[in-house]
């Protein structure tokens, strides 16, 4: 019976995202997670112990706290009525996924390129990528937008729904804290190299399985949209490991094959040129239309993944 509730919650969460997106006026626990990270970081840095240890304690405390709080809320809702539990889980899972906001952010880059020019497009893409964008060419802006859609399909949809199917909303919320920690402290700079190491490694571990499960889902979606499923799968298998991240390269390579474009490549991060290898080396350069195609592929992959998890959950 619990698995059936999860199935309903997964589907309801996805529908909620399609309807509501991520409006700024709406209460959002992920923003609370960000505030908690900012407040607790100086507390855990204060003790005179190695930063790797304090950073590990910091990461473990926040992730466990989110899981415990979410579990208590879901448990209390279930004590009231099973339907209350399903509704609450759907809402919490909705907060953990972001297909609509991801599409909106990427399409704003495309719109800026078409109507406002390269300078505005650089500003728009700077809101969704970690690299420096001030000197990006139009090709660089488009490639950054497509890569963000591909990478965040895993971080923002595939992984949280996977953990929701495995352990309900509490585990999905715990994953979201892991991902938020990585985005805020998981940097390889002097300030966070040691303190953020546990957060970065835990994010790598959490995304390891979902990133690889995403490959056949993206390939199937690509086959339905353009008949490029075989290219998507083969590129992901052969070139997915050609990335600094142990996980991001697989979804990016699948998108490169699906869209028949070249992604990744050298980029500037924090003033330093990082010579990343290209992914999709057999294909050509991106065009403006590839941003919209990437969004379509992301949305269909998200829909297929949601239904697949819901069916598996209901059948258990």
Span 26-54, pLDDT tens digits? 778 999 999 999 999 999 999 999 999 99
What 3 state SS string does the chain have? CHHHHHHHHHHHHHHHHHHHCCCCCCCCHHHHHHHHHHHHHHHHHCCCCCHHHHHHHHHHHHHHHHHHHHHHHHHHHHHHCHHHHHHHHHHHHHHHCCHHHHHHHHHHHHHHHHHCCHHHHHHHHHCCCCCCCCCCCHHHHHHHHHHHHHHHHHHHHHHHHHHHHHHHHHHHHHHHHHHHHHHHHCCCCCCCCCCCHHHHHHHHHHHHHHHHHHHHHHHHHHHHHHCCHHHHHHHHHHHCCCCCCCCHHHHHHHHHHHHCECEECCEEECCEEECCCEECCCCECCCCHHHHHHHHHHHHHHHHHHHHHHHHHHHC
Q: Shortest CA distance to 287 belongs to which of 310, 260, 249? A: 260
Which pLDDT value is given to residue 245? 86
pLDDT tens digits, 253-288: 999 999 999 998 767 666 666 677 889 999 999 999
Range of the domain at 270: 2-315
- Quickly tell me which residue has 């949280």 as its tokens: 160
The arithmetic mean of pLDDT across residues 309-313, rounded, is 95
Quick one: what percent of the chain has pLDDT higher than 70? Answer: 96
- Given a cut of 90, whether residue 228 has pLDDT beyond it is yes
- Of residues 70 and 274, more confidently modeled: 70
Where does residue 117 rank: exposed (0-12), middle (13-18), buried (19+ CB within 10 A)? exposed
Question: What's the whole-number mean pLDDT along residues 156-178?
Answer: 97
Predicted confidence (pLDDT) at residue 215 exceeds the cutoff of 90:
yes
Average pLDDT of the segment spanning 134-155: 93
Kindly state the average pLDDT of the residues 190-211. 96
Residue-wise pLDDT tens digits, 84-137 = 999 999 999 999 999 999 999 999 999 999 998 899 999 999 988 877 778 888
Given the DSSP bridges, would you call strands 263-264 and 267-269 parallel, antiparallel or unpaired?
A: unpaired
Per-residue pLDDT band for 3 (boundaries 50, 70, 90) equals low
227: number of Cβ within 10 Å: 10
User: CA end-to-end span of the chain, whole Å?
Assistant: 9
Cα separation, 7 vs 288, whole angstroms: 37
Percentage of residues in the chain with pLDDT exceeding 90?
A: 81
Put simply, whether the predicted model's pTM sits higher than 0.85 gets the answer yes
User: What pLDDT, on a 0 to 100 scale, did the predictor assign at position 273?
Assistant: 63
Average model confidence (pLDDT) across the chain: 93
Model confidence at 71: pLDDT above 90: yes
**23 confidence band (pLDDT: 50, 70, 90):** confident
pLDDT score, position 284:
93
Residues 6+ positions from 35 with CB-CB distance below 8 Å = none
Residue 315: pLDDT over 90: no
How many other CB atoms are there within 10 angstroms of residue 303's CB atom? 16
Does residue 178 have a pLDDT over 70? yes
Candidates 228, 267, 280, 253; CA nearest to 144 is 267
Q: How many domains does the chain have?
A: 1
The first and second tokens of residue 231, run together, are 């290219």
């Amino acid at each position: 019976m619990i698995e059936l509730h999860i199935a309903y919650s997964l589907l309801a969460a996805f529908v909620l995202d399609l309807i509501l997106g991520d409006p700024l006026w709406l209460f959002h626990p992920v923003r609370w997670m960000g505030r908690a990270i900012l407040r607790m970081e100086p507390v855990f840095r204060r003790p005179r112990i190695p930063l790797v240890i304090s950073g590990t304690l910091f990461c473990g405390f926040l992730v466990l706290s989110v899981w415990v709080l979410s579990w208590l809320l879901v448990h209390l809702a279930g004590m009231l009525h099973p339907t209350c539990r399903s509704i609450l889980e759907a809402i919490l899972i909705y907060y953990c996924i972001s297909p609509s906001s991801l599409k909106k952010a990427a399409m704003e880059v495309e719109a800026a390129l078409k109507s406002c020019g390269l300078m505005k497009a650089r500003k728009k893409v700077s809101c969704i990528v970690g690299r420096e964008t001030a000197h990006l060419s139009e090709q660089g802006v488009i490639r950054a937008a497509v890569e963000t859609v591909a990478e965040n399909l895993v971080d923002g949809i595939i992984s949280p729904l996977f953990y929701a199917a495995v352990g309900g909303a509490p585990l999905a919320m715990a994953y979201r804290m892991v991902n938020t920690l990585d985005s805020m402290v998981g940097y390889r700079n002097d300030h966070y190299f040691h303190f953020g190491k546990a957060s970065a490694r835990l994010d790598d571990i959490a995304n390891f399985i979902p990133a690889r499960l995403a490959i056949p889902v993206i390939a199937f979606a690509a086959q339905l949209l353009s008949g490029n499923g075989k290219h998507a799968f083969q590129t992901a298998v052969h070139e997915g490991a050609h990335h600094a991240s142990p996980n991001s390269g697989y979804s990016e390579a699948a998108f490169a094959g699906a869209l028949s474009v070249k992604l990744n490549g050298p980029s500037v991060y924090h003033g330093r040129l990082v010579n990343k290898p290209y992914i999709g080396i057999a294909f050509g350069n991106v065009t403006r239309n590839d941003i919209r195609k990437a969004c379509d592929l992301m949305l269909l992959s998200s829909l297929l993944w949601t239904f697949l998890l819901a069916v598996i959950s209901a059948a258990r």
